Structure 1
Amino acid sequence: MAYEEAKKKLRGSICPVITPFLENGDLDIETFQQLIHWQIESGSHGISVTGTSGEPSSLTIEERKRVMKIASETIAGRVFFAPGTGSTNHDETMELTKYAEELGADAAMVIVPYYNKPNQDALYTHFKIVAESVKIPIIIYNIPGRSAVNMEVTTMKRLVEDCPNIVGVKEANKDFEHVNRVLLNCGRDFLLYSGIELLCYPMLAIGGAGFISATANVEPAKVAELYNAWVAGNVERSQDLHFELMPLNDALFRDTNPAPAKIALGMMGKINPKLRLPLGPPSQAVTDEVRQTLISLDILPKETASQL
């Protein structure tokens, strides 16, 4: 595969679509497909599933495969597809990443294993073996707040040098100095995506390829417009959208993602906001803040909100 072509294609606002459930906890396939159609119609440039927002640790391996397959079929090549295939388990990560390749995914997003807390040499070996098992592009997902381990820039650089299909990283890392050093060490053409909502705009300014933002689940058009405005050279509009989205970004992370996002989508009539244990619904205070934020941004009409 021509990885240089992939680096040109895999850019923009990638929505990490939530996994909707029926009231009995089963996958809500019809609603899931509707969410993907809505994302594409709203301007999202790419779709990811079974990442953090998709509750992958609450899904079985077979459920993850089913979600990936349905997503791939629903997208039908209209935008690029980069499912999350990582796990705490190395063999599961291999299995899911190979399955993403079988489906024809444009890339696979592989998380730094959570809970295990591997050292840097173990991280290198894990990612190298996974990358070498497939030919599709690999996007590292570095989220130290969830995994309790930060992939150091030196480790990432080693992987980029040794694995040509490791083409980028989703940095859910609040250390902006770290993400600057990623591009310095891994190359300016390395695809750097923000996984921190308040850093989506700043990362574009240093040469980022886009963002994989949970907020796009709720306000996909404006999140995509932020990227489009930047690419078009309309810096002022990008800045305006950055600050306009801040209250929503804040509200959606008052509790563990994706609980507030699911509450918001429930208020919008998009989904049943069901979560699988051990996750549970946010507090009434967080729910009220989400509701008021949706009203203030004209996402939710006041007359609708008063009935919730």
Structure 2
Amino acid sequence: MYQEAKQKLRGSIAPIVTPFDEKMNVDYDAIKSLIEWHIESGSHGISVTGTTGEPSSLTIEEREQVMETAIKTAAGRVPVVPGTGSTNHAEALHLTKRAQEMGADAAMVIVPYYNKPNQQALYNHFKIIANSVDIPVIIYNIPGRTATNLEVKTLARLSEDCKNIIGVKESNKDFEHINRVLLNCGRDFLLYSGIELLCYPMLAIGGAGHVSATANVAPKEVADIYNLWAAGDVEAAIDLHYKLMPLNDVLFKDTNPGPLKAAMGMMGKINPALRLPMGPPSNALQEEIRQTLVGYGMLNEKVGAE
């Protein structure tokens, strides 16, 4: 069962934003449109309610409805891997069980943020969640947001003791740590990059793909990094890696998903609103984002100037 998932859950799993309407309600129709665009553009999978989806700004009921909307819209055409983690263990357990009930292909569970658990507590947290479901579980390690790093030895214990923990999304700038994941967890363990500038490098060491926020504005190009690598066209993959670097840089000059939503608003994809405590990027950064999109041909210069 899990070996099949390991073959299926590869490539660009796009972590889509959660759009809000003018009244700050979740715009479920916009979510459906975004998913259709991603499928048409070649994204290999969809993730919702992860960091880019502002889960901490959503109620539990909203998170469940966003997950259900994504699963029903994708309708089996691509895998759906919702983020089900929380700083509250009971909430993470509940959401992961609900993801299975809804038919998710896997669940992505973040290292709990703010409360800074020790390694044994992290082990207990993830083991209980994984043992509560039969679907694959992908752990999400993002120490820059959580203030806690899931150590390789803890991850290796989990992968050994919980056969449905099949991978990790590493938003970790420590590339030595990332290399040791596959050394200690096995080369068939699914390693995804959650850092844009490491999407290509992780493939080069045996990674399974990436969960890149940039896919929200350039889904085809982000998917093609994986496609080119898988086809053996290494030089073209490297060229695309460097071509996307200025776009990646500008989208992370303020906290994600602020710049990303601003860019998507300029492209006419969504209403770029964020719920407090998040807020839009500065006017100067928004202009830089606009000019970057124009340079990539993603925005008409005349329209952008109006």
TM-score range, shorter chain: over 0.9
How far, CA to CA, are the matches of 1:211 and 1:225 in structure 2? 11
Residues 270-290 of structure 1: per-residue CA shift (max 9 Å, x gap): 111000000000011211111
Partner of 2:230: 231
1:133 aligns with 2:132: yes
TM-score, normalised on structure 2? 0.99
How far, CA to CA, are the matches of 1:31 and 1:142 in structure 2? 28
How far, CA to CA, are the matches of 2:259 and 2:236 in structure 1? 27
User: Aligned to 2:244, what secondary structure does the other structure show?
Assistant: helix
Which is further off, 74-83 or 298-307? 298-307
Structure 1 vs Structure 2: percent identity of aligned residues?
A: 69
How far, CA to CA, are the matches of 1:166 and 1:266 in structure 2? 36
TM-score, normalised on structure 1? 0.99
Partner of 2:155: 156
> In structure 2, what residue type is equivalent to 1:83?
P
Partner of 1:295: 294
Q: Point out where structure 2 has 5 or more consecutive residues left out of the alignment.
A: none
Partner of 1:253: 252
User: Aligned to 1:140, what secondary structure does the other structure show?
Assistant: strand
Moved segments of 4+, more than 3 Å: none
How far, CA to CA, are the matches of 2:184 and 2:220 in structure 1? 33
Residues 149-195 of structure 1: per-residue CA shift (max 9 Å, x gap): 00000000000010000000000000000000000000000000000
How far, CA to CA, are the matches of 1:115 and 1:213 in structure 2? 23
> In structure 1, what residue type is equivalent to 2:189?
F
> In structure 1, what residue type is equivalent to 2:77?
R
How far, CA to CA, are the matches of 1:10 and 1:193 in structure 2? 10
How far, CA to CA, are the matches of 2:284 and 2:209 in structure 1? 32
Partner of 1:103: 102
User: Aligned to 2:139, what secondary structure does the other structure show?
Assistant: strand
> In structure 2, what residue type is equivalent to 1:66?
Q
User: Aligned to 1:279, what secondary structure does the other structure show?
Assistant: coil
How far, CA to CA, are the matches of 1:296 and 1:149 in structure 2? 38
Which runs of structure 2 are paired with 1:162-173 in the superposition (5 Å)? 162-173=161-172
Which runs of structure 2 are paired with 1:174-189 in the superposition (5 Å)? 174-189=173-188
Partner of 1:306: 305
Partner of 1:146: 145
Which is further off, 43-52 or 22-31? 22-31
How far, CA to CA, are the matches of 1:138 and 1:257 in structure 2? 24
The structural deviation recorded for 1:85 is 0.1
Which runs of structure 2 are paired with 1:1-308 in the superposition (5 Å)? 2-307=1-306
> In structure 1, what residue type is equivalent to 2:134?
K
How far, CA to CA, are the matches of 2:193 and 2:208 in structure 1? 8
> In structure 2, what residue type is equivalent to 1:217?
N
Cα RMSD (Å) of the superposition? 0.5
How far, CA to CA, are the matches of 2:214 and 2:190 in structure 1? 20
How far, CA to CA, are the matches of 1:235 and 1:300 in structure 2? 29
> In structure 2, what residue type is equivalent to 1:290?
I
Residues 113-162 of structure 1: per-residue CA shift (max 9 Å, x gap): 01010000000000000000000000000000000000000000000010
> In structure 1, what residue type is equivalent to 2:52?
S
How far, CA to CA, are the matches of 2:200 and 2:303 in structure 1? 31
Q: Point out where structure 1 has 5 or more consecutive residues left out of the alignment.
A: none
User: Aligned to 1:192, what secondary structure does the other structure show?
Assistant: strand
Which is further off, 298-307 or 70-79? 298-307
> In structure 2, what residue type is equivalent to 1:212?
V
The structural deviation recorded for 1:295 is 0.7
How far, CA to CA, are the matches of 1:195 and 1:246 in structure 2? 15
User: Aligned to 2:6, what secondary structure does the other structure show?
Assistant: helix
How far, CA to CA, are the matches of 2:303 and 2:237 in structure 1? 30
> In structure 1, what residue type is equivalent to 2:40?
E
> In structure 1, what residue type is equivalent to 2:151?
E
How far, CA to CA, are the matches of 2:195 and 2:276 in structure 1? 25
The structural deviation recorded for 1:30 is 1.0
> In structure 2, what residue type is equivalent to 1:251?
V
> In structure 1, what residue type is equivalent to 2:126?
F
> In structure 2, what residue type is equivalent to 1:114?
Y
The structural deviation recorded for 1:304 is 1.5
